[in-house]
Amino acid sequence: MPIRYDARTYALRAAKGYVSLASVAGRLKVPFALDPHTQGILGQAVGFDSADMIHRKGRFWLHIVVTIPDVEFQPSGDVVGVDMGLSRPAVCSHNRFFGKRRWKEIERRYFRLRRSLQRKGTRSAKRHLRKLAGKVNRFRRDCDHVLSRRIVDSVQPGTVIVVENLVDIRTRTKQRGRESRRRLHSWSFARLRSFLAYKAAAKGCKVVGVDPRHTSQMCSRCGHVHRRNRRSQSRFLCRACGFELNADLNAARNIARKYLASGGMPAAGGPLSTGLACQPAQAG
């Protein structure tokens, strides 16, 4: 169980590299280590709320809730669509591909281990299952943090980041194959979007959602819609105009186009995102 601290029982001294914690023996000055990213977050904080002390694998971690003011959103005119999927975690309309191939293999390994423990059914196996569940959840949260951070880092302040509204995807989508169905039901779309939203707000960007229908079947060049346009998981070939592109990149461009078609226009006549061009542009 974590130990909860509040403003009366702990005081962070980031500049001096220690935290003051209340204990039965009096105040303790505990030194800590910070990575550059966390240092940057603390530098933006205008308030510190509660904190939880956690012991994990021989180490103590202090999870602190901080208040960071959102950067004012000033539209630059850039619009970037993001296609999120099971095979490739995220593809952006400005020709950026995110996610690590090893993530899928780690998921498979955890699944095989969980299935093996479930078959045993012993008291020891059940104890290991509880530990494994926590490890899997932490792994998925970390992947979502990494993915959302890389997406936000790839855009400029003032960008509108467009994603699909995937709240009903589990009931609307018919995945073929047992593994695809399992991965679909274990994917937390809402958490990934929430991570993306607050990281974007801190950079002065905005996240909006659009209807996901036909984004994978529509040609981003001519607009022709047909379910056979997507020849495979990775290949899109338009039956009308012959335009060929990576299927996820084509979907990302359609996501951005849907936002613009719904009335989300670039501010002050600014340029459209390079992701709406017909041919891939060089990533900046």
Question: Tens digit of pLDDT for each residue in 115-141?
Answer: 999 999 899 999 999 999 999 999 999
Residue 209 bridge partners (DSSP): 163
* Cβ(202)–Cβ(97) below 8 Å: no
Tell me the pLDDT tens digit for each residue of 135-155: 999 999 999 999 999 999 999
pLDDT of residue 29: 94
Higher pLDDT, 268 or 55: 55
Determine phi and psi for 208, rounding to 5 degrees: -130, 160
HEC sequence for 86-116? CCCCEEECCCEEECCHHHHHHHHHHHHHHHH
What one-character DSSP code corresponds to residue 39? H
Highest-confidence range of 98-112, 215-229, 267-281, by mean pLDDT? Answer: 215-229
Mean of pLDDT over the chain = 85
In this prediction, residue 179 carries a pLDDT of 56
What pLDDT sits at residue 57?
Answer: 81
User: What are the tens digits of pLDDT across the range 164-205?
Assistant: 997 655 444 555 556 555 555 556 788 999 999 989 998 999
